[in-house]
Structure 1
Amino acid sequence: MSLRFSLMGPVRAWRDEEEIDLGPRQQRAVLAALLLNNGIRLSNDQLIGMVWDEPTPSAVMALRTYMYKIRKALPELNLKSKDGGYTLHAELVDDCRGEPLEGLNSTYFDAQRVRLAQYRLKAREDWLERELDVLELQKHVGMFPLRERPRALLMQALFRDGRQAEALDHFHQARALLNEELGLEPGPELRKVHAQILKGDLHLTRRPEQLPPDLADFTGRAQEIAQALRALPGTVGITGMYGSGKTALATRIGHLVKHRFKDGQIFVRGKDVANDLLRAVGVENPSGDKAALWREKARGKRFLIIVDDLQDAASVRDLASPGSAMIITSVRRLNELPGVTWLKIAGLADQEAHEFLGKILDPARIAAEPEQAREVLERMSAMPNAIRVLGGKLAARPNWTITMLLAQMERETRLGNAIPSDCRAVLGPMIKAEQQLGDEELHLLRCFSRRETDVIDICAAAEMTGVEPGVIEYLLEALADVHLIEPLVLGRYRLPRFVRIYFGWRAPALTS
């Protein structure tokens, strides 16, 4: 469930897609003051001074009443009084409704209205610079004829489209208008673009747009998303088992923040990350110190970079640059990388898993067999990849019940390798994980998967295998590093049900 706010027009709030009633004008003014100081503690006196130009003694009681009603309408904010003040953390969006802070009147809000209007104007021109859409630039120049930056962008866009004469004509129009209205000559940006067009050496920088599409049915991960948004720009790492949805989460975060990074988004997989980054900005066949060359290219720029399925820390160690952000996904948490905010994900929470299944399968079928649906989700440890495949399988078989699916799952675990292709799609992440294990790790995992227990104890493992506890602990830690088991306390680990089912199914191969 997500909560977002807008100050660009009336003060508004939404919980997912449903708009929230924020109450009367002064109550919305109190909320607006908190939102304008997102993350900053405001004392009662500061809030009163922002909302009322000439506060009366009753303002203190009015503030308390409004805060009570705001907490009641928006409990997710956890907005509690501490040391005589309040701090709010929230996501702000620009829904382009009209004049910022519409209907709110005070000296403070008047000043903030000007600031927000300038922010919106800059954001709009940043977008125009990214898109270089001639029609949109012409509209913007018509609305703000004395602003030189959009004029320069329009000249670049026209030149790119082969309309050199029109581009030059716009320079002369701007020069005449600036002389007539302000008594000024065009500034350095306009003059530079004009000179480059005359010489024919205007080279527009390639702006990469490589972010994969966001998933329309993405569900959950609200806490992890909030943590990532607080950490960016910086480096965020997402770690978890194969099939836990690391790439989907990185992509969702990327779409939420891409507007902050005007120079583009780059998505790479593979070992030679520096090479792929350089190619994304137009450097073909780079040689020499690629990391140093990338830092030179990225200097002063704002890129959003997603490195998916990173295998080793060395591939990204020297690639960070000020102003840009990097999101890494990796099965292993690469602790040797400095300055990374790590997010660990596993299966979805119970409510989120049911919500996700309901986006794939008719909710009425789930409601008809709630216990069976819960059993399917638990067997798959609520892993998004498995839920998507099994939910899709049932959706394609309208005459099947969830009970029938459970019966087939039981039968398939006894069939050995003779399992349907859709089951292989469910087990794909486990198959990939198995291929990364050494013989000793694999043997230990299979032994425990045959036991009817979710908890692994080092001493029990040593007794069962005949291997000394020190070696066993090393093997268990290696399995925990790739999230096939979960560390509880020192010497004890939990075996997820999905892992136990898969490796228990694979265990007969030991005696065949």
Structure 2
Amino acid sequence: MSLRFSLMGPVRAWRDEEEIELGPRQQRAVLAALLLNNGIRLSNDQLVSMVWDHPTPSAVMALRTYVYKIRKTLPELNLKSRDGGYTVRAEIVDDCRGEPLEGLRSAYFDAQRVRLGDYRLKAREDCLERELDVLELQKHVAAFPLRERPRALLMRALYLEGRQGEALDHFHRARALLNEELGLEPGPELRKVHALILKGDLTPPRRPEQLLPDLIDFTGRVEEIAQALRTLPGAVGITGMRGSGKTALATRIGHLVRGRFPDGQIFVRGGDVAGELLRAVGVENPVGDKAALWRETARGRRFLVVVDDVQDAAAVRDLATPGSAMILTSVHRLNELPGVTWLKTAGLAEREARDFFRKVLGPVRADAEPGQAEVLLERLSRLPGPIRVMGGKLSSRPHWTTGMVLLQMERESKLDGVIPSDCAAMFAPLIAAEEQLSDPERHMLMCFARQDAEVIDSHHAAEMSGADPGEIELVLESLTGVHLIEPLVLGRYRLPHFVRLYFGRRTAALTT
């Protein structure tokens, strides 16, 4: 669930897309004072002096009453008294409304209105840049005739509507006004737009819409989605083993919040992340410090950036920009990245796995053999990727039962360990994962599988592998880092059934 606020116009708040009633004026004034000092502790005396110019002795009691009501209305703010004061940490958005802090009156709010005035103008002009509406730009230019940025935007809008002559005429009128009023020539932004119009090189701003399609059968992950929505527009990382649905979860979160990022959504899969971000917004063949160029390009804009399958922290370090959001997926949890809230995907919960299997296969066939379906889902460790593959396989064989698939899996496990072609898709996540393993890591998983052990401790692992106990700890922790085994308590680990199934076949292949 996402909570966000606006101070541009009346003080307003939304929970997801639903606006929240914030109560009487003085209660909104207390909330506004806290939001204006986002992340800073304010004492009772400070809050009273901000809200009331001439406070009466009852002001402190009134303040406590308003804080109590704000807590009840907005429990997500976690507004608790600490060290004799209050602190909030909240997402504050620019929604291009009217006068800042509308309706709030005190010397403090009057001073804040002046401070927010330029910020409001910038927020309004950011909106106008996204929309390039000629009529709205003409109104804004008339209201603020000496501001050059909206004049440059108006010239762009006129040119893109095919009104080249009017755009050039507007430049000459702006130049005359600036000379007459200030004795100045047009600034670099106006001159640049003028030159581009003369060359015919002015193009519409690119608004990327690159999110992958949302999956209509997406199931579960309610807690993970709620945590991500609370975190955005901060950075969210999603980690888990291959096949656990990291990309699907990132895509679902992206579609839920895309409306909050009006400058577009960018999807990048590994590689040159900074370069791909720049190309997505129209910067072709970027050179030099691409991360710095991206931050400059994205300044003042709100993008949603999804970077899938991040291989190392360096690829995404220094790419975060204020107002934009970044969702990362990675097999490895990249702890060296600051300010990232990490979520972990594993197998679905039992009920979620059943629901997903029913969506893929169809409820009639899935419900016909509930016991067999449970066995199959457990063997797949309730991972979304393998469930989709096996459900699709059953769908393509209308006369097969779930029990037949289980029987086939049993027969195949007793063969020479070669993975049949129709099972390769099911095991694709682990085939890809094995390619990244070192020899000691691969050997350890095969030892686990040979013992058919679900839980094993580090001492037993050392005995099985014949390796030094100190080295074994490093190997086990490395396998934990890519989610092929799960840590339970110190020195004890669990091997997921699906991983055990795959490496059991690989062991059979090598011993045949």
Post-superposition offset of 1:393? 10
Q: Do 2:149 and 2:189's aligned partners in 1 also have CA atoms closer than 8 Å?
A: yes
**Distance change (3 Å), C-alpha of 1:280 and 1:227:** closer
What corresponds to 2:227 in structure 1?
A: 223
What corresponds to 1:7 in structure 2?
A: 7
One-letter identity of the residue aligned with 1:455:
V
Post-superposition offset of 1:92? 2.6
What corresponds to 1:461 in structure 2?
A: 461
Q: Do 2:240 and 2:346's aligned partners in 1 also have CA atoms closer than 8 Å?
A: no
Q: Do 1:4 and 1:93's aligned partners in 2 also have CA atoms closer than 8 Å?
A: yes
What corresponds to 2:211 in structure 1?
A: 212
In structure 1, the residue corresponding to 2:82 is in which secondary structure?
coil
1:37 pairs with 2:31? no
**Distance change (3 Å), C-alpha of 1:470 and 1:435:** same
1:16 pairs with 2:16? yes
Post-superposition offset of 1:247? 4.0
What corresponds to 2:415 in structure 1?
A: none
What corresponds to 1:93 in structure 2?
A: 93
Post-superposition offset of 1:439? 5.5
What corresponds to 1:311 in structure 2?
A: 311
1:119 pairs with 2:119? yes
Write the mapping of 1:181-330 to structure 2, written as runs, cut at 5 A.
Answer: 187-189=186-188, 192-193=191-192, 196=195, 200=199, 209=208, 211-212=210-211, 215=214, 219=222, 220-223=224-227, 226=230, 229-230=233-234, 238-247=238-247, 252=253, 267-273=267-273, 276=276, 292=288, 294=290, 297-298=293-294, 300-302=296-298, 307-312=307-312, 328-330=328-330
In structure 2, the residue corresponding to 1:414 is in which secondary structure?
helix
Write the mapping of 1:59-74 to structure 2, written as runs, cut at 5 A.
Answer: 59-74=59-74
One-letter identity of the residue aligned with 1:48:
V
In structure 2, the residue corresponding to 1:456 is in which secondary structure?
strand
Residues 212-239 of structure 1 show CA distances to partners (whole Å, capped at 9, x for unaligned) of: 2584878534435655745x6xxx7654
One-letter identity of the residue aligned with 1:46:
Q
What corresponds to 1:109 in structure 2?
A: 109
In structure 1, the residue corresponding to 2:298 is in which secondary structure?
coil
What corresponds to 2:491 in structure 1?
A: 491
Aligned equivalents of 1:214, 1:53: Cα separation in 2 = 54
One-letter identity of the residue aligned with 1:462:
A
What corresponds to 1:53 in structure 2?
A: 53
Aligned equivalents of 1:195, 1:13: Cα separation in 2 = 41
1:332 pairs with 2:336? no
Q: Do 1:151 and 1:190's aligned partners in 2 also have CA atoms closer than 8 Å?
A: no
Post-superposition offset of 1:48? 1.5
1:414 pairs with 2:413? no
How many residue pairs were aligned? 491
Aligned equivalents of 2:379, 2:60: Cα separation in 1 = 55
Aligned equivalents of 1:283, 1:198: Cα separation in 2 = 19
Residues 181-231 of structure 1 show CA distances to partners (whole Å, capped at 9, x for unaligned) of: x5766642465247525853866697573642584878534435655745x
**Distance change (3 Å), C-alpha of 1:260 and 1:276:** closer
Residues 98-139 of structure 1 show CA distances to partners (whole Å, capped at 9, x for unaligned) of: 554444333333444454454343123224335545565446
Aligned equivalents of 1:355, 1:183: Cα separation in 2 = 72
Choose 340-349 or 249-258, whichever is displaced more.
249-258
In structure 2, the residue corresponding to 1:31 is in which secondary structure?
helix
Aligned equivalents of 2:442, 2:193: Cα separation in 1 = 67
Residues 397-443 of structure 1 show CA distances to partners (whole Å, capped at 9, x for unaligned) of: 9x9xxxx997677556436489997x876654334324433555345
Aligned equivalents of 2:111, 2:2: Cα separation in 1 = 30
One-letter identity of the residue aligned with 1:478:
S
Q: Do 2:333 and 2:342's aligned partners in 1 also have CA atoms closer than 8 Å?
A: no
In structure 1, the residue corresponding to 2:80 is in which secondary structure?
coil
**Distance change (3 Å), C-alpha of 1:414 and 1:111:** farther
Post-superposition offset of 1:281? 6.7
Aligned equivalents of 1:377, 1:173: Cα separation in 2 = 72
**Distance change (3 Å), C-alpha of 1:353 and 1:2:** farther
Aligned equivalents of 1:14, 1:322: Cα separation in 2 = 23
Residues 7-30 of structure 1 show CA distances to partners (whole Å, capped at 9, x for unaligned) of: 344444343344444343333332
What is the TM-score with the length of structure 1 in the denominator?
0.72
What corresponds to 2:478 in structure 1?
A: 478
RMSD of the alignment, in Å? 5.2
Post-superposition offset of 1:83? 0.6
One-letter identity of the residue aligned with 1:294:
K
Aligned equivalents of 2:450, 2:484: Cα separation in 1 = 15
**Distance change (3 Å), C-alpha of 1:418 and 1:427:** closer
**Distance change (3 Å), C-alpha of 1:483 and 1:141:** same
Choose 17-26 or 41-50, whichever is displaced more.
17-26
**Distance change (3 Å), C-alpha of 1:475 and 1:195:** closer
**Distance change (3 Å), C-alpha of 1:239 and 1:209:** same
Residues 72-101 of structure 1 show CA distances to partners (whole Å, capped at 9, x for unaligned) of: 333332221111001111223345565544
**Distance change (3 Å), C-alpha of 1:202 and 1:255:** farther
One-letter identity of the residue aligned with 1:414:
E
Residues 360-400 of structure 1 show CA distances to partners (whole Å, capped at 9, x for unaligned) of: 79xx99xx99x989999877666565677789999x99x9x
Aligned equivalents of 1:16, 1:258: Cα separation in 2 = 11
**Distance change (3 Å), C-alpha of 1:42 and 1:442:** same
One-letter identity of the residue aligned with 1:74:
L
